[in-house]
Homo-oligomer: A and B are copies of this chain.
């Protein structure tokens, strides 16, 4: 049994608590919350403390708090014997206090509280200073998810950059579409099914192959008509992305010596 203490009260902590509770070979023994156990979302049968001095002895301490606070918070944990991991995609392992046995346990998912998720399908990225600690994280992660990857901090940073495109920037495209619909007095609901379908499609097809639209066809007439109806940032974005899309398919075309 791996004894685990969870530190945090947000969305990540909430979903980790559920997954840790139901994993084999894992014993979630305590949660720390700065504000005490005033969050009724959490299982009330799990002991909760708001005093760091009262933390139980455990094999593993999982910090699931805001990125900005991880480094300073970890300095308060110097007396702990167990492995201490954070759960952030963008923070290096070495930002944890150097007196700790350090590691990272990063679930690559965007969590929403109360929105149930199949944790077995959440990719888990692990990293640790020592082989033994990495082995413990591997055992724990494999008990929780079917997808476990070992990456060092530099690789994780690169994954994070890719995730900014895949997740943050794609969401911003949805936000632009929503804003345009409001401006044009059209219902954004009309676009929701196609958004979901595209996300499903690229689970099995390379997104490069799945690309459609005026820029992929290099349909300059349509692109010009669209640009005439756009302003400021959205016009700049439309222009830059269309140029980049068209260019990448022309490159591919000349690579292949044939029309796509």
Residues of A within 8 A of B (CB): 90, 108-110, 112, 115, 117, 121-123, 125, 147, 149, 151, 155, 157-181, 184, 186-203, 205-208, 210-216, 222, 225-226, 229-230, 233-234, 236-238, 240-241, 243-245, 247-248
Given A163-B177, A190-B147, residue A198 in contact with residue B171 (CB < 8 A): yes
Please pick, from B163, B164, B166, B201, the residue contacting A112 in the complex, using a CB distance under 8 A.
Answer: B201
Contact B207 A178 (CB under 8 A): yes
In the complex, what's the smallest C-beta–C-beta distance from A180 to chain B, in angstroms?
4
Contact A200 B206 (CB under 8 A): no
Residues of B within 8 A of A186 (CB): 151, 155, 158-159, 162
Copies of the protein in its oligomer: 2
Given A211-B172, A216-B168, A236-B240, residue A162 in contact with residue B180 (CB < 8 A): yes
Residues of B within 8 A of A122 (CB): 193
27 contacts between A and B (CB under 8 A): A110-B197, A110-B212, A123-B189, A147-B190, A149-B190, A157-B225, A159-B181, A161-B230, A162-B177, A162-B181, A162-B186, A164-B214, A165-B173, A165-B176, A165-B234, A166-B195, A167-B195, A168-B211, A168-B214, A168-B215, A168-B245, A172-B245, A173-B173, A174-B207, A177-B207, A236-B244, A237-B244
